[in-house]
Chain A
Amino acid sequence: MTVRHDRADGMRRRRFLTNAALGGATIIGATALGGLDAEAAFAAEPSLDPAIAKSTFVEGRITGITGSILEVAGSNGGHSRVQMTNVTSVWKVRATTAEVIEVGDGLYARGVKMPDGTVAADAVWVNIVNLDTQIRGIAKNRLHLAHGQHELVGHVAPDASASYAGRALTSDLSRLRIGQSAQVLGAWRPSDNSVDVVRISVGH
């Protein structure tokens, strides 16, 4: 049984990996190392992690999709080709698969540069945004946010999470208040310039 060629058979694969994980080593303890996800990549300091040092980053708008290759026009000019593999993680509001990527989406990718110049992606984050905002209104499934002079709508999905005063993420969004400053990690919707709120941090 292979892990890689078994994506279609999701249940069986998950069952197998669950057993592998539960049968694995138990490691107890905390560290302050942190993640190597998009937020870590946004950090200005270069990571000392050997896995990151070899990585390159690609950022821009997707101008075309040819098979498993994404054509990306960089925000500061330039053009890149991003090769998706079957072990590339895809984030678009949540962990998902490459089928949801569309032309016109914004992209942030981490990967390894290949000899032919393409970047074999380890991870891509589609339309990810990190905004300093002020909460101007709260409704059943959306937040009204002010980002500088922009008014924007933040759609709140059921799996959105919030962090209050630096505490752990929770699914309880009912402690958000109008007028609060909030850092919003989310996914931009190119069609109407609104944002899907994924994580909102207040009281830092």
Chain B
Amino acid sequence: MLSLTTSLAPLVLAALLGWTGAVKVFSRGTAQLAPKTVLARMLRSSERATTVLRATGAGELLIAAGLLVVPANPVPGAAVAALGAGFLAYLGYGRAMAPESSCGCSASEDTRITWRAFARAAVVLIGGATVAVAQGTWWSAVSERPGGALLFLAGAAAVLVALSADLDRWWLLPLRRTRLRVFGHPLLGTAAGNQVPVAASVELLENSLAWQAAAPVVRSALLDHWEDDGWRILQYSGVYGDRENARPVAVVFALDATTGRDSGGDPIVRVSYVDADSGEAVAVDELNAVPSRRNLPMAG
């Protein structure tokens, strides 16, 4: 198994470097991505960062070709190890200097520097060191044990895909979608039935004429809420009157606990100001004088 690993490692690394290198060199996205990388900050120029990213990509392609053609030669392996060490150092620097920036690892998408980027760079480093000391060639390993080789390559590919954050949308999201389809939506039925949430009552209140009438008095946001006999009571604090006549009041609204903005009809709200000190109702006549404003009936 060990000999299989060492002799097939060049193939895996060549595939990885060939992919990331080709994306860096040929993708138009490289120029758009470059300004977001730590590299641009290090070099103080996004043009230079683009050039360096493309040059790195070209280097990766060259090394990939070397790995494929002369796998028994220690030079490509050493180059891969050096590249992996360089990536690790770069990621460490980026993580310390600008954790928000993109790593530019495969230059195809905005990928934040996470543990996965580090793990992938470490795989490159270890893989490079392994290849540098390996003796056999990958083609002889494949021809000798095709079944084992296939299994190893599939496993290695799975590991590398899992470590590449920019491939998530090709496998992770579809996988999660499938899980929802098979096992059902996990948030189905977690809510308390068809009950109208308090937020919906607040939303209905804020779209009501009662709110418009009381808004100049209301000062706080929602202070407390509870339900009583089918009513939802929403309590606010406020100040009624101005200057020396100003007095603190509790503003209480009562709404049907089963209606929301989509229930249809006009919102019906009961409202009262209660003096915070005496507990007496304030401005009863003023509130009673607010005319109702019903929606125009729909034609047809």
Q: Are A50 and B216 in touch, CB under 8 angstroms?
A: yes
Q: Is A88 an interface residue (CB 8 A)?
A: yes
Q: Are B197 and A27 in touch, CB under 8 angstroms?
A: no
Q: Are B293 and A25 in touch, CB under 8 angstroms?
A: no
Q: Are A89 and B231 in touch, CB under 8 angstroms?
A: no
Residues of A within 8 A of B189 (CB): 174
Q: Are A138 and B200 in touch, CB under 8 angstroms?
A: no
Q: Is the interface of B mostly helix, strand, loop or mixed?
A: mixed
Q: Which of A15-23, A62-70, A72-80, A99-107 contacts B (4 or more CB under 8 A)?
A: A15-23
Q: Is the interface of A mostly helix, strand, loop or mixed?
A: mixed
Q: Are A30 and B197 in touch, CB under 8 angstroms?
A: no
Q: Is B245 an interface residue (CB 8 A)?
A: no
Q: Are A27 and B204 in touch, CB under 8 angstroms?
A: no
Q: Are A136 and B173 in touch, CB under 8 angstroms?
A: yes
Q: How far does the alpha carbon of A29 sit from the alpha carbon of B294 in the complex, in Å?
A: 5
Q: Are B260 and A89 in touch, CB under 8 angstroms?
A: no
Number of interface residues of A (CB under 8 A): 67
Q: Are A31 and B209 in touch, CB under 8 angstroms?
A: yes
Interface residues of B in 251-300 (CB under 8 A from A): 252-254, 260-263, 266-279, 281, 284, 287-288, 290, 292-295
Q: Are B221 and A89 in touch, CB under 8 angstroms?
A: yes
Q: How far does the alpha carbon of A25 sit from the alpha carbon of B224 in the complex, in Å?
A: 20
Q: Are B292 and A28 in touch, CB under 8 angstroms?
A: yes
Q: Are A21 and B236 in touch, CB under 8 angstroms?
A: no
Residues of A within 8 A of B56 (CB): none
Q: Are A140 and B112 in touch, CB under 8 angstroms?
A: no
Q: Is A199 an interface residue (CB 8 A)?
A: yes
Q: Are B187 and A173 in touch, CB under 8 angstroms?
A: yes
Residues of A within 8 A of B212 (CB): 31, 33
> Which residues of A are at the interface with B, using a C-beta cutoff of 8 A?
1-4, 14-18, 20-38, 49-51, 87-89, 91, 94-95, 122-123, 125, 136-141, 148-151, 156, 158-159, 161, 167-174, 176, 178-179, 198-199
> Which residues of B are at the interface with A, using a C-beta cutoff of 8 A?
100, 102, 110-112, 114, 168, 172-173, 176-177, 180, 185-192, 194-200, 202-204, 206-213, 215-226, 228, 231, 233, 235-237, 248, 250, 252-254, 260-263, 266-279, 281, 284, 287-288, 290, 292-295
Chosen A-B contacts, 5 in total, with CB atoms closer than 8 Å, are A28-B267, A33-B206, A95-B221, A137-B173, A168-B204
